[in-house]
Structure 1
């Protein structure tokens, strides 16, 4: 079952390379932060065949074992000196930070990029920053990060995705052990997006002109509920799955085992917004950049069925 997924990934990479060839861009030096993460790893793979890619990671040895491409560079968000070495002479940088309790991380990367002569920064933010009723910790942090970036005077592009489809990978253990999916607000809907689409947009924006000063809203082609996601995953793994709706208290207790209390409160706030319909709208950013429709959750689930079967 792994062959179809691999073929799809190879086909996507070939398509991206072909589009880059048509664009006729020069060979660039591109730094990728968070290169071991979901988006950064894929962006590195897409860009490395045509550009000089510096893949920034805290653990180069582990990243190499995972097959990370490009020039693997050891760097830590808390260490400006390591970031400065990694950014020096780069044409563009992909900025992906993940800890809203550490706003200094964003400051450190921006300072290093500015000192290193980086011309263009592409930041992965969040679509919620455009929604006035979104006031949770994570969204406020991303709004502040966008303001920091604009204040640098460097060229910038903002990628604002909705929730990643890959968040459903958190359900893999209960699917494998019990054939059960447990989630809060089972009928709430979110226009979640395939992170492969985000990565392809990021690779295009980093390597071709015409995107400076623009913000792209990235969603899937339709809103889908956790209950409907469960049904699609059942088809992907080839057996029935039961959906169990968590209460807010049960969800909070589960999150407390993984996250600090400020993030737990933020997750509860974001979930309530989703239940109220605040995350269901579909945007066209992927079509604007790539000229095609976004990937459906059904396709994402089928491409990752092995993960859920083998968890």
Structure 2
């Protein structure tokens, strides 16, 4: 049996939709009703919470491999609980969604340190592991959709700096391969798109597809920070600002061949992702 976590999120849901296997599949969510549509003849939705070790123990019973997605760097106990329950249940392989910055010594922000600790936790557990280390998701630009629809303006920090952003569908396909194939244990996969692209370039792509003018405006550092504080606790906002400074220095522009090597096809480009999601940016 394969267990998937994070199925209400971007990558986890794509993994659930793309996982084709003869094995039974179990989907974990705090509220199984939210993922009921993903259930099927060999796929069950079960309740469980990273904060509740007993619920994890029940969900992991009989599981061979698991896809682990956690999202809160302020609650490291979530990974600790999951790994302990997986070890006790005899899970043989965990595929962990991590981050590209983990392998970069100059990345010292809170989120990167948290992911490094998560990886070390799995390494020390005795469970076979695979780490997926993506750059920023192309789908993050969906956060611009309302501003694009209503104003025709995208406000960013460091709009000219480049990031080798990755299509979440490529991450999901790599996760499926790692969960169902052989030879992936003990491997860490850096995942990027085929080219580094700036926010300004992404806005230009959206403008061309929408056939309307869009403007990319740089925010000041303080404006960007205040925007982050409106959405995140201050330690997380601080970490995201540190990450933005690294991007401005060019630290996130490197392109990796991993997607093409593993999947036998080119990594998805931003224009293709934007084309497939352009309706989100059109005026209602």
Alpha-carbon contact 1:36-1:68 (below 8 Å) kept: no
Q: Which runs of 5+ in 2 are unaligned?
A: none
Q: Work out the CA distance in 1 between the residues paired with 2:138 and 2:128.
A: 29
Q: For 2:20 and 2:58, how far apart are their aligned partners in 1?
A: 19
Deviation at 1:61, TM superposition (A): 1.1
Range with bigger deviation, 46-55 or 285-294: 46-55
Deviation at 1:45, TM superposition (A): 1.3
Residue by residue, what CA displacement relative to the aligned partner does 1:148-184 show, whole Å, maximum 9, x if unpaired? 0000001111111011011111101101111111100
Q: Which residue of 2 aligns with 1:55?
A: 27
Q: Secondary structure at 1:134's aligned position in 2?
A: coil
Give the distance between the partners of 1:310 and 1:134, measured in 2 at CA.
38
What does residue 220 of structure 2 align with? 247
State the secondary structure of the residue aligned to 2:86.
helix
Alignment of 1:170-189 (within 5 A): 170-189=143-162
Query: What TM-score do the two structures reach when normalised by structure 1?
Result: 0.88
Other structure's SS at 2:197 match: coil
Moved over 6 A (4+): none
Answer yes or no: is the 8 Å Cα contact 2:17–2:38 preserved in 1: yes
Of 236, 258, 261 in structure 2, the residue corresponding to residue 263 of structure 1 is: 236
> Aligned-pair distance for 1:50?
3.6
Query: Corresponding residue for 1:275?
Result: 248
Does 2:196 match 1:226?
Answer: no
What is the DSSP-based 3-state SS (H/G/I as helix, E as strand, rest coil) of the residue aligned with 2:154?
strand
Deviation at 1:248, TM superposition (A): 0.7
Rounded Cα–Cα distance in structure 2 between residues aligned with 1:48 and 1:84: 25
What per-residue deviation string (whole Å, max 9, x for no partner) do you get for residues 208-243 of structure 1?
A: 111111111100000000000100111222311111
Structure 1: tracts of 5 or more residues without a match: 1-28
- Residue pair 2:21, 2:180 contacting (<8 A) in 1 also: no
| C-alpha separation in 2, matches of 1:239 and 1:283 | 33
SS of structure 1 residue aligned to 2:25:
strand
Aligned residues of 1:83 and 1:109 also touching (Cα < 8 A): yes
**Structure 1 residue 109 corresponds to structure 2 residue 79:** no
- 8 Å CA contact retained: 2:93, 2:129: yes
Offset from partner CA, 1:118-137 (integer Å, 9 cap, x none):
10010110010111100000
Matches within 5 A, 1:1-311: 29-48=1-20, 50-64=22-36, 67-69=37-39, 70-309=43-282
How many pairs align?
281
Instruction: Tell me if structure 2 keeps the 8 A contact 1:164–1:193.
Output: yes
Would you say the 8 A contact 2:2–2:66 is kept in 1? yes
How large is the Cα RMSD of the aligned pairs?
Answer: 1.1
Instruction: Note if contact 1:47-1:203 (Cα within 8 Å) is conserved in structure 2.
Output: yes
